[in-house]
């Protein structure tokens, strides 16, 4: 398969308007991605306000966060996201209020089909899977949230965990794949 035919196949379902929007989004996000400290927060905010599908307040998004398909990303109030995180909203992502995301987290709402031999996995279209992150959720460093899952209200995801299925309210999840450790109310003060 030639490079040109590969690109045509990869972009087959993408309109010119969407392609221009995606490229403009990435240029705008790149311009302020590494701006440090408080100045960086305030420089990024107007860009997020214009690009995001919904933004409920001023997000506390640190430098070096990669976001893709902001038009399918909805974020509530009091949102914090640490550096190195990758958010791909190709299948849609809804994030509630009071959500905290640690460093180097991956949240991807698209997956690649792997069954069969042809076409190569790289050439297959992405299958969207909406992710919903409800209120009062904390996702610790290096966690991975896979497409199609719902993190219920109050969920805590342990560091280095992989979430492959929906969680229950106020659950503490950890492991690969993540399993229920306990509920937050079991050790409430």
- Active-site residue numbers? 98
Collapsed DSSP state (helix, strand, coil) of residue 14: coil
Query: What size, in residues, is the chain?
Result: 189
Q: Which of 86, 76, 87, 29 is nearest to 54 (CA)?
A: 76
- The phi, psi pair for 134, rounded to 5°, reads -75, -175
Question: What is the C-alpha to C-alpha distance for residues 161 and 83, in angstroms, rounded to an integer?
Answer: 18
For residue 185, the 8-state DSSP code is: G
């Amino acid at each position: 398969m030639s490079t040109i035919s590969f690109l045509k196949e990869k972009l087959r379902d993408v309109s010119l308007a969407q392609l221009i929007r995606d490229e403009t989004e990435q240029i705008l996000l790149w311009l302020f991605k590494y701006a440090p400290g408080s100045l960086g927060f305030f420089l990024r905010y107007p860009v997020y306000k214009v690009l995001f599908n919904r933004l409920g307040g001023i997000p506390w998004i640190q430098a070096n966060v990669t976001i893709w398909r902001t038009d399918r990303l909805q974020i509530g109030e009091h949102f914090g996201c640490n550096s190195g995180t990758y958010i791909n909203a190709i299948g849609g992502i809804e994030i509630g209020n009071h959500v905290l995301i640690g460093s180097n987290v991956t949240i991807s709402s698209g997956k690649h089909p792997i069954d069969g031999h042809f076409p190569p996995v790289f050439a297959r279209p992405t299958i969207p899977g909406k992710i919903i992150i409800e209120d009062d959720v904390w996702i610790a460093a290096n966690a991975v949230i896979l497409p199609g899952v719902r993190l219920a209200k109050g969920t805590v995801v342990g560091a280095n965990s992989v979430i492959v299925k929906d969680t229950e309210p106020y659950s503490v999840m950890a492991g690969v794949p993540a399993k229920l450790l306990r509920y937050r109310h079991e050790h409430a003060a």
